[in-house]
Amino acid sequence: MKIEIKRVNQAAHFEASAPSSPVTVQIDGPASIGGEEKGVRPMELVLMALGSCSVFDLGVILKKQRQEVKDIKVSVSGQRREEVPQIFTDIHITFDIWGDIDQTKAEKAAELAVKKYCSVHDMLVAGGIKITYSIELHT
């Protein structure tokens, strides 16, 4: 796997691409280093990676369980330490799931998705980050 990040302008605006997609990701830094609010920040990308990795697996597992999922939304929040580098210390994932979903099956699916199948989770936990999750079911 390989990605490329190229500079867009003389500020802190970059564009990331991967061979797997024609879509690019806009990345920008804070105003203090010349950022122009034209993209997401690197630490936000980490949360996005964790959320998307988990929800992909959750969707597959729920489908295998024959759960009728109408929609899924994921929110990921992270707490960072004050000292540099300001790494994450705690991260919480909230899965909002709409449809005819069995609570027990959803809980098992989320546990498998986050703790067993999500490689982003494993990398972050190996770095000492505490990751929790919760499920909110909606009809």
State residue 104's pLDDT score: 97
Tokens representing 127?
């770095």
Residues 6+ apart with CB under 8 A from 10: 34
- Is the whole-model pTM more than 0.85? yes
pLDDT tens digit sequence for 97-130: 999 999 999 999 999 999 999 999 999 999 999 9
> Nearest 5°: CA angle at 97, between 94 and 99?
170
Tokens representing 126?
């190996």
pLDDT tens digit sequence for 12-68: 999 999 999 999 999 999 999 999 999 999 999 999 999 999 999 999 999 999 999
Give dist(CA 27, CA 4) in Å, integer.
12
Give dist(CA 8, CA 26) in Å, integer.
9
